Structure 1
């Protein structure tokens, strides 16, 4: 087993630059495990990476890889690893790099946990990236409390899980989504679902917590915060990233309604917490489409087109 299938691209550009190619199977170190990947999902940051909008981070060397999350099983364990053992079903997110859209990934044990029982790999990966981001944003950054009013802006991969988390944490949840997704978002548990195309920010009222997954108009949505309110932004406008960053940093200085931003690097305990919530029904799968690795470009195009109901999943095996 010297080579494996993986998603690659040889230049920045539209979804069509993606293709299924061959790369060497990772050689694990003594303190690593080799995971045979069953499924991965498409996330917003990967679109920016492929298009070249964050080339200061990704670099300009090609071919480049894509994908951050994965669900699979341990195919091999390093000599210094006692747990997890070969054959264990696991899930995780690659730390600060891409490449999970492949047949195998090499990671350290603390970067995975046991995958939730009762969910298929496709179902599990649909909540993984969004769930770890949502828990960090709402529980750890915003410290949301029961009875508080939460606004979730955007109901894609993160937003669709965040709506469910908001209800699990006892909040009153308002979601901004497309009109055709109204019933879908209500089904996730949202108390109110408003059309983002026809509802102006000034018509929304005030909120204790605003979770922004879109990355634009931070100033307008920050104004919706009640005294002591918290806004967590998990996305930047890639076309105006300097302005977005400057505004978020300035919000920490001017006034109490600070905009918080974070770049997630979840570890074992967070994966384990999410697995418990998935197993008990606190979070349910949010699958939009399932495609093979060879059709990753179509999945990127679908996410860019908008109107997403959950995650676009790539089934590796």
Structure 2
């Protein structure tokens, strides 16, 4: 076992630059586990990286990989690792790098936890990034309380669809802002109100205790929707105006009663384990839009960029 299949691209560009190729199987280091990946998902930031919109982050060396989160089973465990065994069903995410759309990943055990028993691998792969991001945004950063009003912008996507469910689990009144084709979908996830972003002005939405933005634009307008003492959590920024977008978030995070919080996720074992508990209790369910084979990685990126996504596009590896 010297090589494995993986999603690759040799230059920045449109989805068509992606292909299924072969790379060396990662060598498990001391203290790591080797995971045989059954399924991965396509996350919102990956098309920006592939298109070359953030070259300072992605760099100039090719070929490049794609994929952040994964679901699979432990193939090898270092003798120094406790709590995990070969054959365990796990899910997790790579720490600040791409490459999970492949047959194997080598990770530190803090980057994985046991996956929910009530999900298939493909269903499980739809949740690690969206689930842990939502937990961090709503429970940790915003400290969402029962009875508060929550607005989720981009509620039909991979993160927003989980945030709607988690908001309800935390006892909030949830308003979901989504595309017109996703309104029934987010209502079915538990949203108290589902509003089309193409037919309603932000200024007509009222006020909220917490706003969670998964889109990355219009932060000034969204901040005006906060009630006194309100909190806004932004998990994305405008890639076309990065300095202005990031600068505004930093200033508003430090000044004023209506603060914007931004964070870059690097979830670890405790968060994945918490997400597992939410899923096994039925509070959060999987959010699969479409399952693609590894050879269909370009089609998955193309579909995500076309919009109208309901949940996650999943890449079947095994």
Shorter-chain TM-score: which interval? over 0.9
Q: CA deviation at 1:57?
A: 1.0
Q: CA deviation at 1:30?
A: 2.0
Match for residue 215 of structure 2?
Answer: 214
Q: Distance in 1 between matches of 2:255 and 2:32?
A: 45
Give me the TM-score of the superposition, normalised by structure 1: 0.99
Match for residue 58 of structure 2?
Answer: 58
- 1:254 correspondence with 2:255: yes
Gaps of 5+ in 2: none
Gaps of 5+ in 1: none
Match for residue 16 of structure 1?
Answer: 16
Output one character per residue of 1:273-305: Cα deviation in whole Å (capped at 9) or x when no partner.
000110110001111000000001100011101
Q: Distance in 1 between matches of 2:233 and 2:293?
A: 34
Q: Distance in 2 between matches of 1:93 and 1:151?
A: 27
Q: How many residues align?
A: 317
Match for residue 227 of structure 2?
Answer: 226
Match for residue 291 of structure 2?
Answer: 290
Q: Distance in 1 between matches of 2:291 and 2:225?
A: 37
Match for residue 160 of structure 1?
Answer: 161
Match for residue 196 of structure 2?
Answer: 195
Output one character per residue of 1:177-236: Cα deviation in whole Å (capped at 9) or x when no partner.
112211111000000011100110110000000000000000000000000000000011
Give me the TM-score of the superposition, normalised by structure 2: 0.98
Q: CA deviation at 1:254?
A: 3.3
Q: CA deviation at 1:79?
A: 2.9
RMSD: 0.8
Output one character per residue of 1:82-134: Cα deviation in whole Å (capped at 9) or x when no partner.
33111111110000111000000000111110011110011111122100000
3-state SS of 2:159 partner? helix
Output one character per residue of 1:254-287: Cα deviation in whole Å (capped at 9) or x when no partner.
3111110000001000000000110110001111
Q: Distance in 2 between matches of 1:252 and 1:81?
A: 39
Q: Distance in 2 between matches of 1:253 and 1:2?
A: 50
3-state SS of 1:183 partner? helix
Q: Distance in 2 between matches of 1:41 and 1:247?
A: 30
3-state SS of 2:49 partner? helix
Q: Distance in 2 between matches of 1:254 and 1:280?
A: 39
Q: Distance in 2 between matches of 1:253 and 1:107?
A: 35
1:22-61 to structure 2, matched below 5 A, reads 22-61=22-61
Q: Distance in 1 between matches of 2:199 and 2:135?
A: 29
